[in-house]
Amino acid sequence: MKKQTTLRLVLALAVGLALPFLPSLLTRGVGPDADLSSRLGLAGGVSAGTFAILFIAGILTSLTPCVYPLIPITVSVFGARKAEHRARSMALSATYVMGIAAMYSALGLFAALSGKAFGTALSSPWVVTLLAVFLAALAASMFGAFELNVPPALQARLQGVKGAGFASAFGMGCVAGIVAAPCTGPVLAGVLAFVATKRSAVLGFWMLFTYAVGVGVLFFVIGATSLRLPRSGAWMNTVKSVLGVLLVAAAIGLVLPLFPQPGALSISPRMTAVVAGVLAFAAIAAGALALSFHGPLQEKLLKSGTLVVLLFAVALRFGWLGMPTSVTPQGTQPVAISWLHDEKAALERSHATGKPILIDFSATWCAACKELDLHTWIDPKVKQVVVDQYVPLRIDATDETDENTRLEQKYGVQGLPTVLMIACKDPAPAACSVPQDGPGRVTGFLAPPEMLERLRRVAE
């Protein structure tokens, strides 16, 4: 009991210290150079932090009751622990993990390639609400409200893939995600929904590949070494509760654009981070993740209350309840970006003034587009640079019109949001080359400091 309490306090302290820094970590570019994320096709709201969380989510999924007890059995079936040489054990284990990655990456590609129709459907508030309810229901399954199970007949057929060797290891990896669907399915569904809205095949592949590698880490470690797994226990409920909280947060983030923008909070950004961290620590220490909904009524009520406090802390830190008050220097007046909505008029003004043109492709169903409006385009420094040094043009790509299709093809738009900064060196339209890479192309959400740095680089 004392050991469980200590572990709970350690987890609470870790989350309490990490939450204040989480928003900035999730918007930090991939690699030391911001342009690297563009070259990899992973820019914007999808960042190094996003991929780290996907990898950790995969590891957490492998610790759930649907997967964890099967790891040593599965590894022994495809022969990794029985191999004569350590190199063969490692190769068999890696082949199994690649089977998992192949299955999930294929799902990511399918979700991305079919994402245009999905994204168009998300322009309907009803569809968004239904998807959010679906994610919330999946979260409830993680909290133990009900169990998701693969039909017994299908599970028996999938488990028929047996035998030692590389082909069997790869085949078992391919079907592993389906067999473990009761625990992998909820997380996978949330990731696939996000990938579909981004409409990027490269992004879909690498996001699901990263998650799959996380799921397969323990399989590789156990198959390639002589280590033994710790005994299953109540700690698995904590893992499922963590995944449940992530799914609830995803559902809330999905429906937020449907509601009016909240007003500014009367506390500073630093105080907001501190309060969120303290609340998260208190909620987890009191049992938000460790308690169970299968216990007595008092335990159920305590878990419910602490979960609400934990989600409140997340909402506070991510600005869902309103943005904290920023100190505005005395003597300055707030500026506003006056977006143009006609490409021809924007090009004419750019040629007449000599200013580069800033094009923002967005849509009403695009959650990351809303994040740009809520966090980046309202930043005083960003607004000032855009107003002073750019001709701003916004393209509403909510509807699939002929004009929108023409503009998306002309400017190479693969997903939303896409922000282009085009410096025209000559009045001739042909001289306005569309950036395919580098600081002039942003795909996804970008935090104010990084957007400001790119704006200044292109303008110079």
Average per-residue pLDDT for the chain: 74
Q: Helices 166-179 and 201-224 meet at what angle, rounded to 10? A: 110
327-331, 375-379, 422-426: range with highest mean pLDDT = 375-379
Rounded average pLDDT over 314-324: 81
- Strand pairing partners for 298? none
The neighbour count for residue 384, using CB atoms within 10 Å, is 16
Task: Mention every residue, 6+ apart, whose C-beta is less than 8 A from residue 196.
Answer: 111, 112, 114, 115, 118, 119
318-440-108 Cα angle (round to 5): 60
pLDDT score of 309 more than 80: yes
Structural domains of the chain ordered from first start? 31-259 (no CATH), 343-459 (3.40.30.10)
Rounded average pLDDT over 199-224: 79
Tens of pLDDT, residue by residue over 141-160, are 777 666 555 455 544 554 55
Q: What is the pLDDT of residue 25?
A: 55
pLDDT score of 59 more than 80: yes
Threshold 0.75, pTM exceeds: no
CA-based nearest residue to 253, from 158, 301, 319, 169 = 319
Q: What is the pLDDT of residue 40?
A: 30
Q: Which residue has the higher pLDDT, 28 or 244?
A: 244
| Share of the chain residues as helix, strand and coil, in percent rounded to the nearest 5 | 65, 5, 30
User: Is residue 1 very low, low, confident or very high in pLDDT (cuts 50, 70, 90)?
Assistant: low
Tens of pLDDT, residue by residue over 173-205, are 776 666 565 556 556 666 776 676 555 677 778
Output the CA–CA distances (angstroms, integers) from residue 449 to 44, 207, 363, 430, in the order listed.
12, 25, 23, 31
Rounded average pLDDT over 260-269: 75
| Of 5-9, 133-137, 199-203, 277-281, minimum mean pLDDT range | 199-203
Rounded average pLDDT over 249-262: 73
Q: What is the pLDDT of residue 235?
A: 66
Q: Could you give the CA distance from residue 144 to residue 237 in angstroms, rounded to a whole number?
A: 8
Q: What percent of the chain has pLDDT over 70?
A: 66
CA 266 to chain centre: 29
Tens of pLDDT, residue by residue over 76-130, are 655 555 555 667 777 877 888 888 888 888 877 776 666 555 555 555 677 778 8
Q: What is the pLDDT of residue 100?
A: 82
Rounded average pLDDT over 218-245: 71
The neighbour count for residue 146, using CB atoms within 10 Å, is 9
Q: What is the pLDDT of residue 104?
A: 80
CB 216 within 8 A of CB 184: no
- The structure tokens 């078992």 sit at 172
User: Is residue 35 very low, low, confident or very high in pLDDT (cuts 50, 70, 90)?
Assistant: very low
Helix (H) or strand (E) holding 88: helix 86-113
